[in-house]
Structure 1
Amino acid sequence: MAFVITENCIKCKFTDCVDVCPVDCFHEGPNFLVIDPDECIDCTLCEPECPANAIHAEDELPEGQEHFAALNAELAKQWPIITEVKDSLPDADEWNGKPGKFALLEK
């Protein structure tokens, strides 16, 4: 089982989670992060570090967020690995917690 980044990361892209990952399983896109399920070791360290509460265990995904498991796997193959904390997006605090951001995902 892996952890999955869900919709609330879109337009926020806080990277606090990246710093604690022992296996470098995070990948960075323009306005979203994903976790590579093949690399994730289910250590649980990243989940409490996310200020957007966007990281969930694959078997505990919030209702309506289940499709993010496949999306994380797909985009992890395309996007580069991120291993260091970076500034969040400029208006991340304004977007944090807003629903319906899936259409805003930049691939």
Structure 2
Amino acid sequence: MTYVITDACLDITDRSCLAQCPVDCIQPGDRMHYIDPDSCIDCGACEAVCPQQAIFFADEIPDDRAAFVRINAEFSQGIRSSNGGDHPEVSALPHRAVPR
């Protein structure tokens, strides 16, 4: 299995996970980051440093966020919105206010 980034990362600018990943399998999008399941080595370094608790092991992801297993994989395969910055389903999500 792999780790998965969920919508808790949406519109957050923290990049702690990127710095911790030893294999660079985390791909930044415009509104959130995505994990390439084919490159992830299941080390958990990203999960440990995520301040949003947005990262889950795919087998342990909450049911209400299970679609993000597919969304991360599809983004890594090149499925993007028309502007190319995110997966189409992520691009369609409403923007949330982020405290400054």
Tell me the TM-score normalised to structure 2 length.
Answer: 0.76
Say what the alpha-carbon RMSD is for the aligned residues. 1.7
Q: Counterpart of 2:21? A: 21
The match for 1:104 is 94
List runs of 5+ in structure 2 lacking aligned partners. Answer: 80-91, 96-100
Equivalenced residue count is 83
If asked which structure has higher relative contact order (CA below 8 Å, sep 6+), I would say: 1
Which structure has greater helix proportion? 2
Structure 1 outlier segments of 4+, above 4 Å: none
**Are the equivalent residues in 2 in contact too, given 1:26–1:36 (CA < 8 A)?**
yes
Q: Please state how far the C-alpha of 1:63 moved relative to its aligned partner.
A: 2.3
8 Å Cα contact 1:11/1:104 also seen in 2:
no
Question: How much does 1:78 deviate?
Answer: 3.0
- Give TM-score, length-normalised by structure 1: 0.72
Aligned in 2, Cα 1:68/1:56: closer, same or farther, shift over 3 Å?
Answer: same
For structure 1, the 5+ residue unaligned runs are 80-101
Find the aligned partners of 1:41 and 1:60 in 2 and give their Cα distance.
16
Identity between Structure 1 and Structure 2 (%): 40
